[in-house]
Structure 1
């Protein structure tokens, strides 16, 4: 009797919501939009690209998700800068996070301009003046490619090296830079310390780069346990 009632309930759910149900049961979705909606293309250069490839004609009659508040076609928008701002943010104070990052960029610009004017003419071409390029290069230099995860085997716990996905690599790199900037003397401001850490990391120097190298050395030392990933 209970089985018959359960089958009737599943049939009723499939009839009322055929999009979110399958033959094996109901697929739970925490979004107000069905899963067949596609992500929006809001950057102008990406829109021009899909028009050239003919992909825009296929998307003309496809339901599209609405963009987020942070996703804009402005030339000042950058997904890496937006992500880094979110990592700086604490307790929902996004305006404060944006202000800190703007002050960091200003400090980087002033520091790099001073180095540019003091450098010899043949050395000036190697000095990066754009703060965004400093940020991108710093994140690239401090992002690890391997990490250690604890795996229990035979009553013991082993630190097993595993490769990281690109998204996870950026996550580690950004958070390491922010944590290094917070580990500062009391009289130094956060944005000044963050600017210093970004410039050092962009030059492949500093504490965060050393932290990445130390992690890679630990992964190399524990490579004998790498096979525990598949056992």
Structure 2
């Protein structure tokens, strides 16, 4: 009988355990929210059950759903939904007022609150960040690229942090609405924070080679 190292046995045991812990076999497909699919080609493929936070409604938005999760505290998801709905209402009221006061090109004023949220997050997403890497007993701040998932997380986290740092006497939906409107226009503290981070990464680009050394 051939000798099998202990590490290999542990890996095999862990893989079997992970398969047992999973509710679905590996050949099951992820749930698809898109209604426009080829049913004939997908009819024989088993699909996992959708989670509670997924929906095929036209009002569903992945970024909006993630932002609700980040707003949620102590598991009170309904309160987070109400706060975000109030934020969208405040944004829409503000944009309608601007539209009525604007005597020029009224097509430049965006009224859709969800589109403004997407624009704000896209303007606030960092592409690089500084990572402390130790070489020769010295720590260098090395610029490294940010993954897409983390860049979206940082953008929404910065928007919420900037809103919560403002005056506590003002309700969160109003503070968050103004932060989103500023970021959607390429202004505000969140966009400045992103620009400052990119500027620091640019000044430390001489240490970029430490990523691979």
Same-fold status (TM-score > 0.5): yes
Which structure 1 segments of 5+ residues have no match?
11-23
What aligned pairs does 1:62-73 form with structure 2 within 5 A after superposition? Answer: 62-73=45-56
Looking at structure 2, the residues matched to 129 and 183 of structure 1 have their Cα atoms a distance apart, in angstroms, of 26
Alpha-carbon offset, residue 188 of structure 1: 1.2
How far, CA to CA, are the matches of 2:24 and 2:130 in structure 1? 37
**How far off its partner does 1:62 sit?**
2.0
Contact 1:181 1:197 in 2 (8 A): yes
User: Whole-Å Cα distance in 1 between the matches of residues 142 and 22 of structure 2?
Assistant: 36
Deviation for aligned residue 1:43? 2.6
Q: Kindly tell me the number of residue pairs found equivalent between the two proteins.
A: 204
Q: Which has the higher contact order (CA 8 A, sep 6+)?
A: 2
Alignment map for 1:1-231 (pairs within 5 Å): 25-26=12-13, 27=15, 28-29=17-18, 30-44=21-35, 48=36, 50-51=37-38, 56-120=39-103, 122-231=104-213
- Structure 1 CA distance, aligned partners of 2:164 and 2:114? 20
- TM-score norm. by structure 1 comes to 0.83
Q: Which whole-Å CA distance do the structure 1 matches of 2:207 and 2:148 have between them? A: 23
Q: Tell me, what secondary structure is at the counterpart of 1:66?
A: coil
RMSD over aligned Cα, in angstroms? Answer: 1.9
- Listed one character per residue, the Cα deviations across residues 126-165 of structure 1 (whole Å, up to 9, x for unaligned) are 0000100110000000001001111111101111101112
Q: Which has the larger radius of gyration?
A: 1
Deviation at 1:123, TM superposition (A): 2.6
TM-score between the two structures when normalised by the length of structure 2: 0.90
| Unaligned residue ranges in structure 2 (runs of 5+) | none
How far off its partner does 1:33 sit? 1.6
